[in-house]
Structure 1
Amino acid sequence: MAYQLDHVVVWVADPVRSLDFYRQVLGLEPVRAEEYAAGQAPFISVRLGPGTILDLTPLTAAPALNAVPGAAGTAGNLLNHICLAMPEAEFEALHERLVTGGHRTTPYLKDLFGARGNAPRAFYFGDPDGNVFEARYYE
Structure 2
Amino acid sequence: MSKRDVVFPAGRHALYEQHHYSPAIRSNGFLFVSGQVGSRADGSPEPELLDQVALAFKNLNGILDAAGSSFADVVDVTVFIVDPHSRFESIWPTVVKNHWGEAPYPNITCVGVTWLAGFNFEIKVIAKLPEA
Task: Please say whether Structure 1 and Structure 2 have the same fold, judged by a TM-score greater than 0.5.
Answer: no
TM-score between both structures, scaled by the size of structure 2: 0.25
- Larger Rg belongs to: 1
Q: Looking at secondary structure, tell me which structure has more helix per residue.
A: 2
TM-score between both structures, scaled by the size of structure 1: 0.24
Higher relative contact order (CA 8 A, sep 6+): 2
Q: Looking at secondary structure, tell me which structure has more strand per residue.
A: 1
